[in-house]
Amino acid sequence: MAEGRSNAEAAAALEVGVATVKTHLTNSLAKLQLTNRVQLALLAHDAGLV
């Protein structure tokens, strides 16, 4: 997500379904108490993961 990929692009790259990507994204946002993928990307950037 930090690379700016859509759900469909991430699913294709990981060879999983789009629904799986959506589920993991939703769960990750909830666990990190974030509200959107922009916040997730900023967190990844600030942590040096990207």
* Average of per-residue pLDDT across 29-42: 95
Among candidate residues 25, 30, 31, the one with its CA nearest the CA of residue 2: 25
Which whole number is the average pLDDT over 25-42? 95
pLDDT per residue over 4-31, tens digit each? 899 999 999 999 999 999 999 999 999 9
16 DSSP assignment: S
Domain that holds residue 18: 7-46
Number of domains in the chain: 1
Is pLDDT above 80 for 1? no
> 2 in a domain, yes or no?
no
Size (the chain), residues? 50
pLDDT mean over 30-35? 97
